[in-house]
Amino acid sequence: MRTPAANAELALLLEAAAAPTPGNVDRYRDHPDLALSHFLAGAVGARAGLDAAAAGTPTGEAFERSIEGMSHQAGGNTQFGALLLLVPLVRAAADDALDPKGVDEVVRSTTVEDAAGFYRAFEHVDVRVDDPPPDLEPLDVRRGADAVPAVEHRGLTLRDVLAESADTDGVAREWTNGFERTFETAGLLAGTAVADSPDPSIDDAIREWLRRTDDVLDRAARVHLALLGDRPDSLIATAHDRATARSVSDSARQLLSGLPETPPDADAIEAFADDLVDRGINPGMTADHLAAGLFVALERGAIDP
């Protein structure tokens, strides 16, 4: 059996290799300065921090270690958001409580010191984020460790910090809602009913299409497309604008619109993937949700490469 940390690392690798995942680095596509090899090295490098999370190291410190390790490759930020989801999920799994309630307990137990670890993680890698509103400028994550005194002064836990971004950042939002999208994604990957998501947002015709392949990388790629079509990607909104994020989501949904009668055209999906890479559009939030969902599905034995 793989340990939770090993499954988290494998989830990162499967996410990186799944293809086509339009706009993201995948088995068949690199971005000009961001390549599959960077994701492989990032996943391996993150392992020590994931092991630490499983062993009970405080969440902020384990997260910082995972980011520090991830950063030992030339591609820059490969898996920051995915690790922000995986570290508490690994901890919940190590506590034998990998469900929305269990991971919510992990994030609700975070402290001011965990928030400091989160800020220190930004010292290791450049992460694309929105400008904060003026009153939150002292808490700008790009200040890295320099923001820690302000965090301590305000007495913010790591969950408090992330809650500030929950409206605009689809990864931060997971920390506030019991990792709803993560568990929904795990259900999509498993091809089963989604016990943890009573109100699934992906319709039955798409779910049925996801189940039509047993290949783990193929199914992961289908889930990526379904997620992208279901909800605009917050990283695209940050890196470009909200209209671009909506437009990309609309395009993804359009590719799936012929279901259940007409499966999506494989060539059209490939062309969409090539187009997003050409335009430098990278749905990183969707990739992060996919990685987190892959971890839960691996832990539950719902997928087994």
Q: Give the residues lining the site for its own copies (CB under 8 A).
A: 1-3, 6, 9-10, 13-14, 17, 27-28, 35-38, 40-41, 44-45, 47-48, 69, 72-74, 215-217, 304-305
Task: Compute how many other C-beta atoms are within 10 angstroms of the C-beta atom of residue 26.
Answer: 24
Nearer to its own copies, 19 or 98 (CB): 19
Whether 39 and 16 have beta carbons less than 8 Å apart is answered as yes
Distance of closest approach, residue 173 Cβ to its own copies, in angstroms:
29
Nearer to its own copies, 134 or 301 (CB): 301
Nearer to its own copies, 135 or 304 (CB): 304
CA 261 to CA 280: how far, in whole Å? 33
Nearer to its own copies, 93 or 129 (CB): 93
Whether 96 and 3 have beta carbons less than 8 Å apart is answered as no
67: tokens are 């980011």
Whether 292 and 86 have beta carbons less than 8 Å apart is answered as yes
CA 290 to CA 21: how far, in whole Å? 10
Distance of closest approach, residue 170 Cβ to its own copies, in angstroms:
25
Distance of closest approach, residue 32 Cβ to its own copies, in angstroms:
12
Distance of closest approach, residue 227 Cβ to its own copies, in angstroms:
20
Cα-based distances in Å from 210 to 17, 123, 248, 263: 17, 39, 20, 10
Q: What angle do CA 41, 126, 54 make, to 5 degrees?
A: 50
Distance of closest approach, residue 8 Cβ to its own copies, in angstroms:
10
Distance of closest approach, residue 266 Cβ to its own copies, in angstroms:
16
Distance of closest approach, residue 265 Cβ to its own copies, in angstroms:
21
Nearer to its own copies, 156 or 297 (CB): 297
Consecutive H or E run containing 183: helix 180-190
Task: Compute how many other C-beta atoms are within 10 angstroms of the C-beta atom of residue 157.
Answer: 21
CA 236 to CA 284: how far, in whole Å? 7
Nearer to its own copies, 133 or 301 (CB): 301
Residue with tokens 């798409």: 206
Nearer to its own copies, 5 or 245 (CB): 5
Best CA proximity match to 84, nearest among 14, 141, 147 = 141
